[in-house]
Amino acid sequence: MRVILKRLEKVGFANAPFLLFVGALLLFRIWVVHETVQKLTLLQKKRSELQEKRWEYLTTLSRWMQKSKESTVAHKLEQTGIKPQRKPPLVIE
């Protein structure tokens, strides 16, 4: 039994630098994976924010276009007493 323990001790200490190197590589890999997951999470969050802003923009644009139609503007101006012109403008040549 003592012989086996001595051999394991020798093998363990002989490979200590290699085991430390492998341990450092594993820690580095864990750190890289962690950073990647964080960046992917942030990217997904930014994508959803961008999609929400895009929807907000399109909704606002649609409302603005609806309000700026000639019939809508004419209807609002009738309440103030202003009526749209029925004849086309004169062209000065």
pLDDT in tens, the chain (93 residues): 666 556 656 666 666 677 778 889 999 999 999 999 999 999 999 999 999 999 999 999 999 988 888 888 888 888 888 877 788 888 888
CA dist., res. 42 & res. 60, Å (int): 27
Is the CB of residue 70 less than 8 Å from the CB of residue 76? no
Stated pTM of the model:
0.56
Quote the pLDDT of residue 4.
59
Neighbour-count burial of 24, counting CB atoms closer than 10 A to its CB (0-12 exposed, 13-18 middle, 19+ buried): exposed
Quote the pLDDT of residue 14.
64
Q: Which residues are within 8 A (CB) of 74 and not within 5 positions of it... i.e. 6 or more apart?
A: 83, 84
Nearest to 11 by CA among 3, 21, 22, 24: 3
